[in-house]
Structure 1
Amino acid sequence: MDPEERSEDVLLFAYVDGELDEDQRRRVEELLTRDPNARQRVAQLRELNTLLKAAYQKDGNETA
Structure 2
Amino acid sequence: MNEITNGLQALVARDFQFAHPRDADGGLVAVVGIRVHRGVFDIVQLFSEHEADAARIPGDEPDVLFPSK
Query: If the length of structure 2 is used for normalisation, what is the TM-score?
Result: 0.26
Greater helix percent: which structure? 1
* Structure-1-length-normalised TM-score: 0.27
Q: Which has the higher strand share?
A: 2
Greater RCO between the two (CA within 8 Å, min separation 6)? 1
